[in-house]
Every structure is written in structure tokens, then in C-alpha cells.
Homo-oligomer: A and B are copies of this chain.
């Protein structure tokens, strides 16, 4: 009944309270992030796909969709403008005529570098300066958040 009393109610080790707060925070941060970026061409979904393409080298559309956790038709929609904008190259898969391999173009790599240089501000556009301790807390949590992202398979 107390907010902290259900620590091991489920198997996850986090209190139900913390899970709910984390869920709400992620949704709201995402909203801020999408709105603040304001980038018409390189939207959040496209940037995520582009970063994934860079990370995992040449890969097929279905593989990319699996990595990103979206349906294949959704990824078609995401990738098409990236190709049109010259950030991702589609080359025929020599081993399977049905597939094409996706890889970042030089412009795509440049773009990622530029974004990494420009978007050094925190997702929220607040003027808040975090204390060193708060920065450490975020940095410590980052690998855990990324762990939650790994594909279930």
C-alpha cells in the first residue's frame, strides 16, 4: 500500500511506482524530443533508422525493421525518404534478387556526425543545468535503458 512497499511485486525488481513513472516519463520525453527537434527532413524515426544502418553495416530491409522493432511496411516508409535524400544507399543483394542492401552514404555519415555535433543539448530544451551528480545518474542509467531495448529474441 505504501508507494515503496511493492518492490518485488513483479519479477523486475523495480517498484510498480517506479515503472509507472518511467513509462510516463519516456512518453513525455519522447514528445518533447520530437517537437523540439523540428527537423522536417530527418525525423526521429529516420534518424534512428539511419543510426542503425550505420551501426550494423549493410543490412536488408527486413533486418533493419527487426532491429528497430517495427513492421516491414513501416520501415519501407521510413527508408524511402532517406534514400530519396541521399542518406542511405540501396544496392541489390548479390545473393538474393528479392533483397537490397542498405548502407549509409557518405552524406548520411556526415549527417550523423553533424547531428552528433549539434544536438548536444538534452532532449528537453530547458535551460536547466544538471548537477554533476545528476549527469552521473543519467549516464549510469543509460546502459540499463539500452539493455531494455535489445531484441527479445
Which residues of A are interface residues toward B (Cβ below 8 A)? 6, 9-35, 44-45, 47-48, 51, 68-70, 115-117, 119-132, 134-135, 137-142, 144-150, 152
With contacts A13-B132, A22-B123 known, what are 7 further pairs, Cβ within 8 A? A14-B130, A18-B139, A21-B142, A26-B30, A27-B30, A31-B68, A32-B69
Contact B13 A142 (CB under 8 A): no
Q: How many copies are assembled?
A: 2
Residues in chain B near residue A148, CB distance under 8 A: 29, 32, 122-124, 126, 128
Residue of B nearest to A30 (CB): B30
Known: A30-B30, A69-B32. A119 touches B20 (CB 8 A): yes
Contact A120 B23 (CB under 8 A): no
